[in-house]
Every structure is written in structure tokens, then in C-alpha cells.
Structure 1
Amino acid sequence: MSQFKRVTIVGPLAPPAGGMANQTKKLAEFLRAENIIVDVIRTNPEYKPAFIGKLPVIRALFRLVSYKLTLMKRLKNTDVIHIMANSGWSWHLFAAPAIFFGRLYNKPVVLNYRGGYAADFFSESWFWVDLTLKKSQVIVVPSIFLQEVFDDFDKSAVVIPNVLDKELFFQATNEQKNENAPHLIVTRNLEAIYDVATTVKAFALVIKEFPEARLSIAGTGPEKQALTMLIAELKLNDSVFFTGRLCPEEMAKLYQQADVMLNASTVDNTPNSIIEALACATPVVSTDAGGIPKLVKHRQDALLVNIADHQKMADAALEILKNPTLQQTLVNNGLQTIKKFYWANVWLKLKACYDEAIINNRKK
């Protein structure tokens, strides 16, 4: 029998949408379905009054003070604290204070660390990170890739995959697709680390062999203007479309309608976009950045190419489009790969970690 009834999750929520925000929301929903009382403390709450959000320095101080007061008030009444943590300033401003107050109130802390920059961040800031990590009872990571990073710093971490909503992301059987007009998609934010420009350049080669092909780019971000100029330069204005930010339901529909998903990230861990694409039976072409080769295997459940190699990315996409046997192999294997991300499997591991955190906390 579980030793906990109340869990407090510390992490971001949409808006803005993002991988960690979506995982925070889904984790809370699934835990509540297990009759767990869940409190979510947002690390990115909306500014009240709203005008504070327009004052750059003041808004940061306002949010930080408000956040710490919330931690002081609400972490007293919980059985387990589950902290969604990331690298850089996010660690120092949000994860570290939550761990500190957890220890102050003698509450078991489960640190859920994610992010492709972990190794660099640890190398630069390990003294301070280690001081904080020692105050958490269990470290959880979503991938073997991050587990190995922690191993390099002599820290033990448990792999618990990101949770996938199988009621939302699934293989659709009623989608009609046109073999002569393939639909390629990109589902990453328009930021430099996701290198959407490489996918656009790859698409420019694909369309030479499939003149009716189209590319949908789902996401927002600072690279949009540069991407718009690149699309115009390559004369792809009639074939490339920005969908803007999509809600999870819209994103699932986009995957189900697509023929190939392209991912050109230069830094990554275990991208939800790849997991969601596989769940929707959408073949994936991705770079081999970071932890991606630990998530999928080349020619088994995805095709992997080198970072910034648009020629190889185009070649891989064309091979999928022209080879139904390969396409079906990737789909079938991908549907097997994502089973470990279903809640029933995730919950067994997470529940054990919560119990372990409680036991470890009692020993101190």
C-alpha cells in the first residue's frame, strides 16, 4: 500500500506550451486519476496585476518573490514533492528553492531532471548543483541519456519515461493520404537549437521529386522571421505553412495527417515530438543529437542523420516516401517503442520512487 496521499508538483504550465509544461499537466491529471490529491505550484504563473509582465526587471523579481512565498505556504501540506527541473537559471531560480523548502519542512523530494544541456550545465555549476542535489531523496530522469550524465557525476538516477496520453496520440485508421502530395511536418518551436532551417532546406530537395508536397511547421519563436526569408529565398512560399502554436488535440491531428515528421534539433534529450509522432504511426527522420539515439534506433523505428545535414535528411525522407516496406517497418516498430511511455507502465515506476523517497527521508 502506498505511503502517500498528497503530491505537490512544482513545474511550469501552459501558457506558454512546451514539453515540460505539457508533462506537468499530464502528470497531475494521471495522478488525480489514481485518487492522489495533487497540488501544482507553477514556476511560471501569470502576472497579477497583468501590467507587471510589461516591466522586464521588475517582473522577474516579482515572480521570484511570489514563487518563494507560494513554496513557503503550500509545501507544508504534502506527502511528496515532485520537482520538474531544468538546466541554467531555471535550476537556480526554481528547482533549488523548491528543494530547499522541501528540506526545511522535512518533506521527501523527488527531483525530475530533464534537458539536453545537463552535461554542460553540471560542468560549469556542479559545486552549487551538488549542494542542492544532496537534499533530494530520489533523482528521476526521462532517459538513459540523462541517467548516464548523472552517472558521470557519481549520482544515481532512475529512468522514468515521459508520460504519453494514448487516448490523444494514437494511430488513426481513417486518414486519407495522397501518395503524390506527401505532407511533411515539423513540430518544434522556432528556436535556434531546433534548427528548423535545416528541415526547410531538406524539404526544398524533397519537393523536387514530389512537386505537390507540402511542409507544415507547428510552433512559434524568434527564428520565424529568418525562416520566412529562407522560405522565400527557396521559392517555397506556396508549399510551406506556419500553423502557429497548436494545442495537444490539434497537434495529434497533425501527426495523424502527416506522412513524415522531420526533427533537426542540435541539442536534445527525449523529445516528446518524436514519441508523439511514433504513437500516431508517423515515420520520423531526426538528427542524432543528444539522447535521441537512446530513444530510437536507426532503421528500426526512425531514420537518423547528422546534425545540420539537410541533404541526408532529404534523402531519408525520400527513402521513406518511396519505400512502403521501410515505412511500415518504422511504423510497426515505433508503435512498440512507445508502449513504455503509457501511464500504466510509468505509474508503476513513479509510485516506487515516491515510496523510496519517503523511506529515504525517514532515515535522515
Structure 2
Amino acid sequence: MKNLLYIGNKLSGHGLNKTSIETLGAFLEQEGYQVFFFSSKKNQIVRLLDMCFAVVSKSRKVEFVIIDTYSTSSFWYAFVTSQLCRFFRLPYVPILRGGNLPQRLKASPRLSKMVFKYAYQNVVPSYYLLEAFRKAGFENLIFIPNTIEMGNYPFKQRDELRPKLLWVRAFATIYNPKMAVDVLYELQKKYPEAELCMVGPDKDGSMKTTQSYAEEKDVSVHFTGRLSKEEWILLSSDYDIFINTTHFDNTPVSVMEAMALGFPVVTTNVGGIPFLLNDNEDALLVKDNDVKGMVRAVEDLITQSEISQRITNNARKKAESWDWEVVKEQWMSLLQ
């Protein structure tokens, strides 16, 4: 079985959520691959140097390099390591994860070409990015969705929904956590018993900002901080509706997980979301930062059980297509 080098942000040891380097990487190890992971260094410069060292030191030991590729500052990890791979003639596989990568293609066309044109294949986990990259002229693209292990997500049938909202994401401005507070504030005007639980680590200081904002609005929000996947899945059984408030997105795994757990999902209709979900079929979609629209959607779920039942059943069926046992065949074929 092949040896792989996986380049990404392996930062759960520093209090951040696990990313695909730890989830997909673990799946690949289960299939018998030996995977070298870089990097877990907290400082960004040190992390980049560690990644570069990995490419150099492992260049004769691995057959493929997998690179988690984002659109903002982490794009530079992909750029530098991919060029090192080219120098050592190592086949590398960027996984296109940044929801704002289409803007990166426009802002940095030459640098983007240097990364993506010479890749062995670009793995695209969303039809949103697949369409954007095709329009930009790239052909070495393969669609492989993000994956979850369905056995870890017990489906809960929620027959009568309560106004108990769950939000799971890292606290960052791009994910618009303050919108969740506004939704709770408006919802409590009609449902004083409404609750909101926000799960996730602080990424850019937004947690403190959101906590202060909740105090200003005089609403009580349960902030758990970072939880393990097992912990938040256990906690999730106490809540009935999952909300996603992000400004930009690609294929958010937390939304996929919520669908697998039986949550009706209400989300902003941004980035890759309309390519992942169908409005009124497997989720309810509202405009970016549309607080009133999200409140109306939540009320519709509470008052019209036929909507929530249709959405949750369809969402669970869709989630089953993301199970590792289904998706792994595509990865096995690619890495052969």
C-alpha cells in the first residue's frame, strides 16, 4: 500500500476543531495507507517551514502528497508546498476546501495556475467549486465529496420541534456568529422559551464579541467552547433545529453531520450551500445575514411538521451518500 504525505492544518491539539487532515487522514490509514501528517505547529511561519521540511524529507518516501487548499492566508501553504512538489517531481493532489477560492482564482490567476494546472488531480468536494474551476479553464478536476462515518451519527426522529437552536462552528467573523444571537433575540419575542447553544472554539476573537453582543441584546446563550465530535453529538440530542449563519462557505461538514443526525437545517444560501442543499427539500435556505428570513424559516419548522419531516428524511438519505464506505472507492481509484 502507498505512503502518503498529507499537508494541512492539524491544530486540534491547540484547541481548534479537527479538520479533514485528521478525519480523511484517519480514514486513509484505516484502508492501509501510511500517512505522514504536517503540520501541527501553531505559529503560521513555523507551520509553513515544517510543511516544507516534510516535502523535502519525505520526497523519496511517499507516492502522493495531499494538500488541503484554502482561499485566504492558508492558500500560501498550498502554493509553496505544491511548488516544492513540482521541483521534486512528486504528484500532488490539492483538495479544494476554501469557499472563497473562486475569488482567489480571479485575484491571483498566475499563482493559481502554478498550483492547480500542474496538480496530478484537483479533488473538488463541491459542485460549486467544480463549476468555478471549470469556468476558469482547469480540466484536471475530480469530484469527491467530503465524507463522514454514518455509524457515528445516530438519527433522531424529532416529531414536534421546540425552539431549541444549535450552532456548531469555529467562532470567526466569516461565519457570522452574531447573526445566531439576532435570530434568538427575534425568536424569543414569540417564543420566550427559545434557546440557543453555540459550540466551537474561538478562531479570531469572535467568541468574546458574540458573548458581549448577547449581553447587549439581553439574551442567554449557552457557549460550550470547543467540544469533541463525540461530545457535541451527545449534546445535540437536547436540541431540535440546526442553524448555519455563515457569510462564505463551501461544503460545511458540521451541516452534513447535522443532516445525518436528523436535524432540520436552516442555513444562509451562500457559496457552495445551494450546490450542496436544495431549498425546501433537504434544508431551508435564506439570504446572507437575513435574520428575519431565518426566524420565519425556524417558525415554519415549528408550526408545520410536514416540512420538518420531509426535510429531515431527505437530508438523512443525502447524508448516507457521503458515508466513507461509499466515498472511499473514489479515493482508492485516484491514489492507485
Residue number among 31, 34, 54 corresponding to 2:31 in the alignment:
34
Kindly state the Cα deviation for residue 182 of structure 1 after the two structures are TM-superposed. 3.4
Aligned equivalents of 1:261, 1:306: Cα separation in 2: 16
1:45 partnered with 2:26: no
Alignment of 1:45-124 (within 5 A): 45-46=41-42, 59-92=43-76, 94-124=77-107
Aligned equivalents of 1:165, 1:259: Cα separation in 2: 22
Aligned equivalents of 2:282, 2:15: Cα separation in 1: 27
Question: 1:224 — aligned with what?
Answer: 207
Aligned equivalents of 2:30, 2:46: Cα separation in 1: 34
Residue number among 145, 150, 165 corresponding to 1:184 in the alignment:
165
Task: Verify the 8 A CA contact 2:16 2:201 in the aligned structure 1.
Answer: no
Point out the more displaced range, 161-170 or 263-272: 161-170
Kindly state the Cα deviation for residue 351 of structure 1 after the two structures are TM-superposed. 1.8
Structure 2 counterpart SS, 1:81: strand
Aligned equivalents of 1:121, 1:162: Cα separation in 2: 21
How many corresponding residue pairs? 332
Task: Verify the 8 A CA contact 2:281 2:311 in the aligned structure 1.
Answer: yes
Question: 2:9 — aligned with what?
Answer: 12
Question: 2:147 — aligned with what?
Answer: 163
Kindly state the Cα deviation for residue 60 of structure 1 after the two structures are TM-superposed. 4.5
Q: Percent identity?
A: 26
Kindly state the Cα deviation for residue 74 of structure 1 after the two structures are TM-superposed. 1.8
Question: 2:21 — aligned with what?
Answer: 24
CA distance 1:217–1:323, shift in 2 (3 Å): same
CA distance 1:22–1:63, shift in 2 (3 Å): closer
Which protein shows a greater Rg?
A: 1
CA distance 1:225–1:12, shift in 2 (3 Å): closer
Alignment of 1:171-210 (within 5 A): 171-172=155-156, 182-210=163-191
Structure 1 counterpart SS, 2:165: strand
Question: 2:322 — aligned with what?
Answer: 341
Aligned equivalents of 1:242, 1:23: Cα separation in 2: 24
| CA RMSD in angstroms, aligned pairs only | 2.1
Task: Verify the 8 A CA contact 1:199 1:313 in the aligned structure 2.
Answer: no
Structure 2 counterpart SS, 1:209: coil
TM-score (norm 1): 0.85
CA distance 1:67–1:32, shift in 2 (3 Å): closer
Question: 2:137 — aligned with what?
Answer: 154
Letter in 2 for 1:198: M
Kindly state the Cα deviation for residue 353 of structure 1 after the two structures are TM-superposed. 1.9
Aligned equivalents of 1:25, 1:60: Cα separation in 2: 18
Q: Structure 1: which 5+ residue stretches go unaligned?
A: 47-58, 356-364
1:304 partnered with 2:304: no
Q: Write out per-residue CA displacement over residues 155-184 of structure 1, whole angstroms, 9 at most, x where no aligned residue.
A: 1221111111222223146x9x985x5321
Q: Structure 2: which 5+ residue stretches go unaligned?
A: none
Point out the more displaced range, 251-260 or 160-169: 251-260
Question: 1:132 — aligned with what?
Answer: 115
Kindly state the Cα deviation for residue 97 of structure 1 after the two structures are TM-superposed. 2.7
Question: 1:52 — aligned with what?
Answer: none
Aligned equivalents of 1:241, 1:346: Cα separation in 2: 35
Letter in 2 for 1:150: F
TM-score (norm 2): 0.92
Letter in 1 for 2:41: P
Point out the more displaced range, 277-286 or 7-16: 7-16
Task: Verify the 8 A CA contact 1:161 1:340 in the aligned structure 2.
Answer: no
